[in-house]
Structure 1
Amino acid sequence: MGQSFNFQGILQAFRVLASPRLMIPNLVVRDIRDINFEQLHKAGIVAIAFDKDNCLTRPYGNELHPPFEEAWKKCKEVYRDKVVVVSNSAGTQDDKDHQGAIAIEKALGVHVLRHQQKKPAGGDELLHYFDSTPASQIAFVGDRALTDIVFGHNYGMLTILTRQVVTEQGDNPMAVQIRRMEHRVLDLLDRMNIRAKEHAIPIDASQLQKATPSASASSEK
């Protein structure tokens, strides 16, 4: 299952040009193994949403990347029914009869959001799913700055970027190039000492991160 053209993604890119802080995550980790889910919950983040491809699974795959099994189990133990996957393919209009979403739910053991708008738009649909949970108490985790991180910031969520992807093999070539460009831009913004907008809940990032991601960590080619 592929993805149709994401007009919102193009539109939001122009907003980022005016306000680059929109693409800067509140927290950067190597991958989900470095997120301390218990501390995240204690800090006041009571719900959590994830991108799928190259954050939890291989590109266009349904099964969890095997090294993530322990971390994923811990996440589900801590967040229970407050975990959801938000994909730009599964659960959208590109997903015929939502068969992709159903397959992912079976493989990952969590709900896949059914939604009309693609990230970085569509946050209202996620907020509706989490019912009365304030956006500031929701974390969004993903590997893409211009979609996942901008999406989270657009709606006031805590944003977490997984810097090291599962693999670039089998990924959309355009997505690979854009992600690499995003990383270069994030590195430049960091050198310029430009930081993400402060989150509504005071968060000590050092308490939420199990390990310091290597600055030289690179994607699997």
Structure 2
Amino acid sequence: MSRLVFGVGEQNRFLKNVGSVLKADSDDLGRIVGISGRSFRDWINEKTLGIKDKMLKLSEMSGIKLPVIIDEREEWWSGRINGESGALARMKIYGPPGNSWGRRKGGIVSQQKRKEYPDYYRQLGCPIPRDFNCPRSARLAEFFGTVLGDGGIRPYQLTITLNSEADKDYIQYVMKKSKELFGYNPHVFKIKNCKAVCITYSGVNLIQFLVDNGLKIGD
């Protein structure tokens, strides 16, 4: 569906002539083309552009030729133009949407909400940070020793790198003990082009637990 553009005053003149020939007012003509009388009066006053197929119908019924068509515009053309100009004006004042400040603020709010209502967010399928309150024990001390010897701690991740051949059995042992301590299985992947396996644990709460118990960020 498209709309027709005529010269100034041409749409008004055409529609008034149609009304005179058909002896119909705006409400009658509106019903003929399937719009309200008010909308048809907007056509007459050239507040809005006439719809192509409806204007052709009026031309056929009245025998009055359409004025010279200057342009043909698709439906909602004005909304796209005004929407674009409005968006540009907003960005000029507030900056583009999704800027770094907004994303950071949204992330902080989201994490706080997940801490306050963990069960609700679990039902939604959202990842919820785990709580780590492992009591001090010989097993925990042994795990800390492994981290100190073969691990590296980043702000959001712990990695333990072992030899894929020489430490084959020990890799399984570390995974089993960490499962007993923290309640979940780490991600394990082999490093390409060398005999090494990386055991990875992710989670800001886990890292905070390690730091609170004396370990340091770094290799």
Interval of TM-score (by shorter of Structure 1 and Structure 2) = under 0.3
Q: Which has the higher helix share?
A: 2
Higher Rg of the two aligned structures: 2
Give TM-score scaled by structure 1 length: 0.21
Question: Comparing both chains, which one has the higher relative contact order based on Cα–Cα distances under 8 Å and sequence gaps of 6 or more?
Answer: 1
Q: Which has the higher strand share?
A: 2
Give TM-score scaled by structure 2 length: 0.21
